[in-house]
Structure 1
Amino acid sequence: MHTSFQLQSELFKIRIDGRSADLADLFPDWTGHDRVGVISNSPFAPLGASVLIQAAVTQFFNHRRENIAHFTKLLDREGEREVLERTLKRAELTGRRNDPAAAATKAKIAFGAYAEIYVLHIDKRTGDHSSLDVFPANREVTVPKDFIAVITQLADLGITRLLLPEGPSGDATLDWEIRAALRDRIQDVFVYHPEGRVSDFNIEISATSPVVEENPEAVLSAREVIAAIETNFGPNFSERTRNALALMRSRINEVSEDVVRGVKERREARLVDGMPSESYRRIGLEEGLQVLSGITGR
């Protein structure tokens, strides 16, 4: 939840169809019920859409800020604010003021939730993306390489903005009721490339600060992130942080060190002054279903 304070709208320079745009143009009609689903079919593929994902996170918190009275009322109604404030006070008294869990508590008091970002790994897990604030752990799910299984998972998660890795098209035949349900819910489909640039793009987003690269860098540096937290806080961190570190540690070997190194080197090579720039193609739902069918080998 560190992203609630880290990311701001001005960190993203957006162009749509060659014209300057903003987050509202990128994600029109955003609501408190929007959920972003990112399909991943290769190691750390979603990092090819890291700027778009972080823009979505920013839009999520922008919406919370604009409607803060509503979300504060929900916390107060459930009596949760008082519990959170007591938790934060306890952290400060025990020397854990800057513990990651304490920072998350502050953000929860301010915003009430993590951004609704989900990564759907096709066939097998392909890297831990929690440093992009894809958290808690149930927001990274593994789905069989089966078109209907993935479609069902998207529906069950209530995905409204879909990010697909670029690939060949396939047969997207569906029963009409399934297609109608998807059409009613999914508002945007974006095609991205794991290496950050797609062919025939109509959207380009460039970071205006190296801050936007901090989270992707952390994704590819899990061992260093764990070591830094343990060094900075020693044994004096919360059980919640300890559990989060254990989960990160358990997922380190999903992708070999050689593959991680290759992804990292290629990513660093395409940064401009330490900042990422990526392109995407916004497409209609029907074309998106065809791409998804191709990805799942239907």
Structure 2
Amino acid sequence: MHTVNSMCYKDYKFEVDGRKAGIDDIFPGFNPNDRIGIVTRTPGGSMGAGNLIMSALTSFYDFYRPELGDEPGKLRIYPEYFVFHVGQRHMNHTMMDIWPPHKDVIVEEDDPEEILASINDRGITRLVVEDITPTEPTFLRETISSAKRRIVSALAYNPTGRVNQGDIKVMGCAESEKNILASMNMSEEISEELRAQLKINRENITVDNCVVETYRRIEPSQAVHMLTEFTKVGSKTSSYLEVLENNDKYLTKSW
């Protein structure tokens, strides 16, 4: 909660379709019980969604701000926001208030079923995925059913911070960028060479001293087809299918 006293929601600016907007326009019906999930596939890639994470964080704190504090009797709470690292850990998000550390979720196998199952296990309601070409992965029907009944909105982002055909802009502030860069700098997974490039990426999307990220609204049905470029059934999913006697009636490729 180190950001509570250094930032607030009003420090951020939003645009949707070129018009001034708010977090409610990006995540319709946004509320303190929302659980945001960011899927990252590349080292430091989640920085491309840094302003979104931090602005949603401040909005969450604003729901409780009069009660917050580290003193006895005060409310100490973090939003239920998670980063899903596909294949391996790609960055440490502690300084972005993704806390406790279990909210940096490592999905070891690049298997669509395993990724979506991990998202379901955390009860994600807002899904943010890297902008990759949609594929036709195979899921257990119950995995899709769970996601379909819970995920209410989705966005695509780019690790550079600028997504193709973006219709949303999120403009950060100096304190926000300070925390995003601090998370990057404390990440052992990021080499010095890559760290330098990531800093350049942030400078390239800076306008009037503010980092401006873009996003594209997509349907949740499209987002689950953008979790991975791979469509092959992974080993863990194969073990589930063995229990189901490899019967295709338990599988689906559609939402």
2:215 paired residue number = 280
CA distances 1:241-289 after superposition (whole Å, capped 9, x unpaired): xxxxxxxxxxx43222211222122222332343210100111111111
1:214 matched to 2:178? The reply is yes
| Contact 1:171-1:293 at 8 Å conserved across structures | no
1:114 matched to 2:49? The reply is no
Query: Could you list the runs of 4 or more consecutive aligned residues of structure 1 that deviate by over 6 angstroms after TM superposition?
Result: none
CA distances 1:66-102 after superposition (whole Å, capped 9, x unpaired): xx7xxx6xxxxxxxxxxxxxxxxxxxxxxxxxxxxxx
| SS of match in other structure, 1:278 | strand
Q: CA deviation at 1:297?
A: 5.0
CA distance, structure 2, for counterparts of residue 280 and residue 109 of structure 1? 39
2:35 paired residue number = 35
| Contact 1:14-1:21 at 8 Å conserved across structures | yes
1:290 paired residue number = 225
- Over 3 Å counting, the alpha-carbon distance change for 1:4 and 1:17 in structure 2 is same
CA distance, structure 1, for counterparts of residue 198 and residue 130 of structure 2? 16
CA distances 1:9-67 after superposition (whole Å, capped 9, x unpaired): 211111112221112222222333211111111011111011111111122112334xx
CA distance, structure 2, for counterparts of residue 284 and residue 122 of structure 1? 21
Map 1:62-211 → 2, pairs under 5 A:
62-65=62-65, 105-106=70-71, 110-143=74-107, 144-207=109-172, 209-211=173-175
* RMSD between aligned residues: 2.1
- Over 3 Å counting, the alpha-carbon distance change for 1:42 and 1:36 in structure 2 is same
1:241 paired residue number = none
Q: CA deviation at 1:214?
A: 1.3
| Higher Cα radius of gyration | 1
Letter matched to residue 131 of structure 1: M
- Over 3 Å counting, the alpha-carbon distance change for 1:172 and 1:292 in structure 2 is same
TM-score by length of 1: 0.71
CA distances 1:146-181 after superposition (whole Å, capped 9, x unpaired): 100001100111111111011111014434433221
% identity of equivalent residues: 29
Q: CA deviation at 1:109?
A: 5.3
Letter matched to residue 168 of structure 2: I
| SS of match in other structure, 1:3 | coil
CA distance, structure 1, for counterparts of residue 180 and residue 126 of structure 2? 20
CA distance, structure 1, for counterparts of residue 111 and residue 140 of structure 2? 16
CA distance, structure 1, for counterparts of residue 21 and residue 75 of structure 2? 26
- Over 3 Å counting, the alpha-carbon distance change for 1:183 and 1:274 in structure 2 is same
| SS of match in other structure, 2:20 | strand
- Over 3 Å counting, the alpha-carbon distance change for 1:109 and 1:52 in structure 2 is farther
| Contact 2:32-2:79 at 8 Å conserved across structures | no
Higher percent of residues as strand: 2
Q: CA deviation at 1:110?
A: 4.3
TM-score by length of 2: 0.83
Bigger mean CA deviation after superposition, 254-263 or 118-127: 254-263
Count, aligned residues: 231
| SS of match in other structure, 1:38 | strand
Aligned with residue 265 of structure 1, among 200, 206, 222: 200
Unaligned runs of 5+ in 1: 73-102, 223-251
Map 1:228-243 → 2, pairs under 5 A:
none
| SS of match in other structure, 2:225 | helix
| SS of match in other structure, 1:50 | helix
| SS of match in other structure, 1:105 | coil
CA distance, structure 1, for counterparts of residue 164 and residue 60 of structure 2? 28
Letter matched to residue 122 of structure 2: L
